[in-house]
Structure 1
């Protein structure tokens, strides 16, 4: 419930966003409390939720005055995230950090979703997420899904979902994470479906590379090539193939493939034998496999934020901000 601050002073430790502020946010609960002196006008311009709170009949909006700021408790909001949000909305750029950790970004995104004010935060969101996008293997990276969704960053959202497809074996679990509830139903299933499609493409890449030799396995040296191919997969930790592909992030799969030794048969006929003529030169097996793997990875894209919000498949897009081509 909102109360009136009866004197002209502010509680100790109050962060003044606007010296003429007419609202005093009270953050936290019990022993951990912070205060922010803010402008209802500024917040109303930035947020439809704050606008309704301050102007459309909510009790908090009655009789707002800078001479006697109204105290509004916000016990459920993360204090550092709310302070950062208010710094941004009040254009206090000197107080805005150039870097933010993923957990802090997730808390900020939750507030932007709650108060419908992602627009003014977008430029900062682009700056902060760009720092983390190259670190898909970092602990907590999956929280960037909340961040890019809550801050409405379509390009970053596509990159994050692509990175999760490539780097997150197994199911995504967010049930206990703050912010999970803002994500639409089925989003994690769609990411896992993309991951499964990529795994199928990677399996086809391995199969397509060795199939020409399997088809000619009536030749003794080619039998050796086929056997050595699968043996070498085992030596680099890629066997059994389907199980390992399911367990290993894509960058690690590529790294293991780079360690493969090209199978060399014990053939003495270097002129007419199929191991050096015909379908594929044996020494090219590794290169061809790497090219097919790269094609499979590059043909797998992230998700379109506009399509996700609209609840439609990526092939049904109308006027998405991010090109599907």
Structure 2
């Protein structure tokens, strides 16, 4: 036990028992080395102060002060042993260093997104946010350059980090990317990289999904609105040639919008929940619609070129729409 005993308080009356994977020496290249070997786990013991833990963590306070078996044992015998087989001993040891104000005997692994996510998971589990706030701010700042700019495997890790450590800017950035670029089914709180569920409340996921669908639906509505305008309003063409010319120009403009939208699969719009689509893709596709008027087709130099301003208006509407879907506010979920 001595080799795997970590003492955070020499007079500590509480011992945690964790498990660490034993790394076996690399074997030769014989075929025998490819046989399956079960994972070997070694116990890791951590001696801690129950008083410090109860001050730092409402979870441990409830465990040790109420009628849980750990609290009963501690009061009856003056010490208690608590198994924590699911907790990472390296991460848990780092948190115990912070709780006890001790200097680490061995440096932690290099801080990266996955390691910080592991810390966030345990901080949330034991509700240590306030106790580690100074440290967590420094950890996040050191890794800000790793913040995903697009939807990738680390986005959900950073959403977890920003939520647990109450980082409003990072939370807004991650939810912005998610609502604009998520395909819906990819908002999974299970992390394959860590083989753990991330402590992200379902109400946050539901809000992102709802805003994603609304953003996509509103994008299709922009197309529908201009189809209605070109069908039911007076012609956009202001040519002085003739009324017939203006209506012909308008019809060609409408036709190019309908044809271009249909060719790109944008009209008629697909049904919700818009599988395999995201807001960013839909907006980009809408801007690819080739709109042309009779005036531009005939090369009339004294008339507005292109689409008589319709495409520019669609682009402007999409820019305004994008500004509306710019992420969630952390304070709305506290």
Give the whole-Å Cα distance in 2 for the aligned partners of 1:162 and 1:197: 14
Give the whole-Å Cα distance in 2 for the aligned partners of 1:124 and 1:205: 46
Q: Which residue of 1 aligns with 2:183?
A: 169
Change (3 A) 1:231 1:115: same
Change (3 A) 1:255 1:124: farther
Give the whole-Å Cα distance in 2 for the aligned partners of 1:176 and 1:163: 18
C-alpha offsets along residues 107-146 of structure 1, whole Å, 9 cap, x if unaligned? 4333222212112333444543744543341115234444
Structure 1 segment 1-325 matched on structure 2, within 5 A: 11-15=2-6, 17=8, 23-28=14-19, 31-53=41-63, 57-60=71-74, 63=78, 71-90=81-100, 92=103, 95=107, 99-102=111-114, 104-126=115-137, 127-128=139-140, 130-171=144-185, 174=188, 178-179=196-197, 182-184=199-201, 186-209=203-226, 211-214=228-231, 215=233, 216=235, 219-233=247-261, 237=264, 239-240=266-267, 242-243=269-270, 246=274, 247-257=276-286, 259-263=288-292, 265=294, 266-271=297-302, 276=304, 282=307, 284-309=309-334
Change (3 A) 1:17 1:210: farther
C-alpha offsets along residues 54-104 of structure 1, whole Å, 9 cap, x if unaligned? 56644246535xxxxx643211323343234334434558945663324x4
Shift of 1:234: 5.6
C-alpha offsets along residues 195-236 of structure 1, whole Å, 9 cap, x if unaligned? 22212322233334555434438722332222223444466x
Give the whole-Å Cα distance in 1 for the aligned partners of 2:97 and 2:283: 44
Give the whole-Å Cα distance in 2 for the aligned partners of 1:244 and 1:46: 50
Change (3 A) 1:89 1:297: farther
Give the whole-Å Cα distance in 1 for the aligned partners of 2:130 and 2:110: 18
How many residue pairs were aligned? 286
C-alpha offsets along residues 14-57 of structure 1, whole Å, 9 cap, x if unaligned? 45555665544221276243334444444333222234455664
Q: Which residue of 1 aligns with 2:31?
A: none
Give the whole-Å Cα distance in 2 for the aligned partners of 1:25 and 1:223: 77
Give the whole-Å Cα distance in 2 for the aligned partners of 1:264 and 1:122: 60
Larger radius of gyration: 2
Contact 2:116/2:161, CA 8 A, preserved across alignment: yes
Secondary structure of the corresponding residue to residue 17 of structure 2: strand
TM-score (norm 2): 0.66
Change (3 A) 1:60 1:150: farther
TM-score (norm 1): 0.68
Gaps of 5+ in 2: 21-39, 237-245
Give the whole-Å Cα distance in 1 for the aligned partners of 2:110 and 2:226: 47
Contact 1:106/1:179, CA 8 A, preserved across alignment: no
Change (3 A) 1:140 1:32: farther
Change (3 A) 1:43 1:206: same
Change (3 A) 1:100 1:238: farther
Give the whole-Å Cα distance in 1 for the aligned partners of 2:286 and 2:109: 41
C-alpha offsets along residues 223-270 of structure 1, whole Å, 9 cap, x if unaligned? 2222223444466x4534633993333333444455554535423544
Q: Which residue of 2 aligns with 1:3?
A: none
Question: RMSD of the TM alignment (CA)?
Answer: 3.9
Change (3 A) 1:143 1:51: same
